[in-house]
Structure 1
C-alpha cells in the first residue's frame, strides 16, 4: 500500500512539471539578419532580411553551387507611421515566429537619420529584449533593398558577409572603422555628441561567368548627432580619419616619387599611434597632434632612398588629415572628436568653452601636426628595383 501511495504521488508531481512544451522549435522560426530603415513622406519604410540557416552550411562548404531553390535570404518590405506599426504590418504576411536575437546589422537611409528619426529608431530597437548592443550600424544613399539582396563573393554565407562581420577584412585595410550600437550610444551621449557611421555603397568590381557580380563597399561615413544628421564625408575626403586613432590595423598612401614624373609609389602603413594634446592659452584652446607609424614599401619602378619615401609619406598623411578636418569643419562636424579630448584632459576649461557639448573649432585649432615614420621597411628587397633596366 505504501508503494502505491509513493507511485501515485510521483505521477501527480510529474504532471505539474512544465518541461519545454512552450518553447518554439528552431526550425519553426524565421531569423532576422539585417534590417533596413528608410523614411519617406512622413512614414517609416522598413526592409526585413530573413536569413535561411539551412543554406549556411552548404554555402560555407566546398560546394560552390547550392540548391537554386534554397535562397540564402529574402527581404520583406512594409510602411508605417512608426517603426513598430511598419513591423506589425509585415508580421501579417509572415507564417512563422520571427526571432531577433541574431540581428546582425541595421542600415539607415539619409532620410532616416534626419530630424532625430535615427534616435527614435535606436530607442525602439534597444528596448526590445531580444536585441543586443553588438549590432553593426551603416548608412547609405543607395536603395536599401538592393543592398540587402546582395550575396557575398563566391556565394559565401551571409553570416560572414562584409556587413555581417566588418572585422573580417580589418587586418587588410581599416579605411573606415566599424561602429556597433554600443559605440553609437556612447558617441551620442558623450562630448562631442557626434558619431561617424560607415557609409555603404553597392560595388560592381566583381564579375561572374554569366553576369556582373555585386558586393558592398565602405566609402566614407555619415555623421549623426543627438540633433540629427550632419552630413557625409566620402571617398578621399574621409581618408584622414584612419590616421587619427589607434584602432587602424592597416592602410595605404599613394604618391608621386617625383613631381615631374608619372611614377607612383604605394606604401602600407601600420602600427598607428596617435596622441592629441589640448593646449590652453588665455581661454583659447588648440590641439597638438602627434602621429607615429610604420611603413612598408610595395613595388616601384626605380631606385629610391628611404629618406625620400619617409618625406613623401609625411607629406601625404598630413594632407589627408587636414583635408578631412576642413571638409568636416565646413559641415560643423568635429570629426576627430577634439571636444572629447579637452573634456577628458581639462574638464574645467571644457565647461567654460562648450556649447551643447562641443567647443568652437576653426581651421587653426590644430596648431601642430607632427608625423613620425618610425620604420620604413623594404620588404624582402633593399630600396632598389628587382629588375635592372
Structure 2
C-alpha cells in the first residue's frame, strides 16, 4: 500500500505545471526615478534605472566599481505617448513600482503642465503616492546621474533619501507626492516643491570636482497655480515657522566675521490671526531650543540672545516679504485665519486665496531657550552694566 501511495505522489509531482506566469527578477527592468520636461510643445519623459546589486552594503567588502546608472528619455505629445516610446526600446518589461522619486523641470511649471503630469502619475497605478517629488532648473539626466560617495548606489543620494540630511540641517523639508497633492487641494495653504541643483565646488574625488545634489530653493504654489521660485537663502526663516524643523545651525556675523554659531531645534509656533477693517493681521510667537556650538566674540548671554532674536525675526520677515513679492503665503499665515474664522477669510481672500499685505505681521516674537552653552564663558552681566 505504501508503495502505491508513493507512486501516486510522485506522478502528481510530475504532472504539476508550476507557476509559469511568474517573471524572473533578471528579466524585469526596475525604474527607480521618473522625470518630466516640456520642450517645443512636447513632454519629455525620463526614467532612471539602477542595478540593485550596487545598492547592497556588504560589510568588509569594499566596492571596486562605480555604480551603473541607466537613464532613458522619450518625447511625445502626451506623457503616455512618451512612456510607450520608452517601453519600445527597453528590451525587457519596465517595472514602475520601485519608483521612489519624481522630478519635474521649471519648463513643466511655466507651461502650466504640472497637473497633467500629476494626472499621469495618478492613472499609472504602479507609481506610488509615497514617492518623493522635486523640481529642478537642471537637465534631468544630469540630476539622475549625480555622483555618490564611496561608489554607493544613487539610492543613497538626496534624490532618493533626503530625510537623513534634513534631520541634520532642516532648511527646506522634503515632500512626498501625496503630501504635495493634498496641499495643492487645500483651500487656504500654499504648497511647494524643493528645487534640486548640482554643485561641483565643495567635494573632490581624486582631485576632480564631484557633481553632487543640493536643495537650492523651492517652487511655490497658491491654489494650484505656480507663482515662482525662491532661493534657499531668501527662504531662510521659513524653517522657524515649520513644526517639522529638527535642527538648523545659524551663524551670527559681525563685520563679515563669525561671532557665534548656534543650533536651533524644534520650533513651537503660535499664530493668532485677527481681522480688522477687512484686512488680516497676525501675531506670531515662536519658541526655539538652542545650543551654542561656537563663540568667537566676548559678549554677555543677554547680548547674544538679543542679537540672535533680532537675526531670526529678520529672517522670518524676509521670507514673508519674498512670499508677498510672488503673491504667495509662504508662511501659511492665512491658514490660521481660515481655521479660526472661515467667514472672515472668505471675505478677505482674493481669487487666489491670498489674504496677506505688507503689514500683515503685526507682532513677531522669537523666544530662545538655552539648552547647552558648550562650556563657553560669557562676559559677566555686571561688567556689561559698568561699561555702559
- In the superposition, the TM-score normalised over structure 2's length comes to 0.89
Cα separation, 1, equivalents of 2:280 and 2:89? 58
CA–CA distance in structure 2, aligned partners of residues 156 and 380 of structure 1: 38
Assess if the C-alpha contact under 8 Å between 1:116 and 1:226 holds in 2: no
Three-state SS of the structure 1 residue aligned to 2:328 is coil
Q: Root-mean-square deviation (CA), in Å?
A: 2.7
Alignment of 1:198-237 (within 5 A): 198-204=194-200, 205-237=202-234
2:237 counterpart SS class: helix
| Secondary structure of 2:208's aligned partner | coil
1:41 matched to which residue of 2?
40
Give yes or no for contact 2:263–2:291 (8 Å, CA) kept in 1.
Answer: yes
User: Equivalences for 1:214-363 in 2 at 5 Å?
Assistant: 214-257=211-254, 262-356=257-351, 358-363=353-358
Residue 362 of structure 2: aligned partner: 367
Using the alignment, how far apart are the partners of 2:82 and 2:17 within structure 1?
A: 35
Q: Does structure 2 retain, via aligned residues, the 8 Å contact 1:153–1:215?
A: no
* Secondary structure of 1:350's aligned partner: helix
Residues 261 and 93 of structure 1: CA distance in aligned 2, closer, same or farther (over 3 Å): closer
Structure 1 residue 201, shift from structure 2 partner: 0.8
**Aligned-pair CA distance for 1:338:** 1.9
Judged with a 3 Å threshold, the aligned counterparts in structure 2 of structure 1 residues 16 and 245 are, in CA distance, closer, same or farther, namely: farther
State the secondary structure of the residue aligned to 1:116: coil
Instruction: Please give the residue correspondences for 1:163-178 in structure 2 after superposition, counting only pairs within 5 Å.
Output: 163-178=159-174
Q: Is the 8 A contact 2:32 2:50 kept in 1?
A: yes
Cα gap change, 1:47 to 1:61, in 2 (>3 Å): farther
CA distance in 2, matches of 1:261, 1:181: 40
CA shift in 2, pair 1:261/1:179, >3 Å: closer
Q: CA deviation at 1:64?
A: 4.2
Equivalent in 50, 63, 66 of residue 64 of structure 2: 66
Moved more, 111-120 or 132-141: 111-120
Deviation at 1:54, TM superposition (A): 1.7
**Kept in 1: contact 2:105–2:137 (CA 8 A):** yes
Which of residues 130, 134, 146 is equivalent to 1:134? 130
Q: Distance in 2 between matches of 1:374 and 1:360?
A: 32
Answer whether contact 2:193 2:218 (CA < 8 A) is retained: yes
Please report how far the alpha carbon of residue 261 of structure 1 lies from its aligned counterpart in structure 2 after TM superposition.
8.0
Question: Helix, strand or coil for the counterpart of 1:370?
Answer: strand
Contact in 2 for aligned 1:221/1:232 (Cα 8 Å)? yes
- 2:118 maps to which residue? 122
Q: Secondary structure in 2 aligned to 1:170?
A: helix
Once the two structures are superposed, residues 270-327 of structure 1 have per-residue CA deviations (whole angstroms, 9 ceiling, x without a partner) of: 1211111111234332111111002211223233211111111111111111111111
Query: Hey, what's the Cα distance between the residues in 2 that align with 1:279 and 1:16?
Result: 78
Instruction: Summarize the Cα distance change of 1:347–1:19 in structure 2 as closer, same or farther, 3 Å threshold.
Output: farther
Distance 1:261 1:145 in 2: 38
Change beyond 3 A, Cα 1:301–1:355: closer
Q: Which consecutive unaligned segments of at least 5 residues does structure 2 have?
A: 380-388
Q: Distance in 2 between matches of 1:254 and 1:264?
A: 7
Q: 1:93 aligns with which of 75, 89, 96?
A: 89
Q: Assess if the C-alpha contact under 8 Å between 1:36 and 1:107 holds in 2.
A: yes
Match of 1:182 among 178, 185, 189: 178
Calculate the TM-score normalised by the size of structure 1.
0.89
Q: Secondary structure at the match of 2:320?
A: helix
How far apart in 1 are the matches of 2:13 and 2:112?
54
Number of the residue aligned with 1:51: 50
TM-superposed deviation, 1:172: 0.9
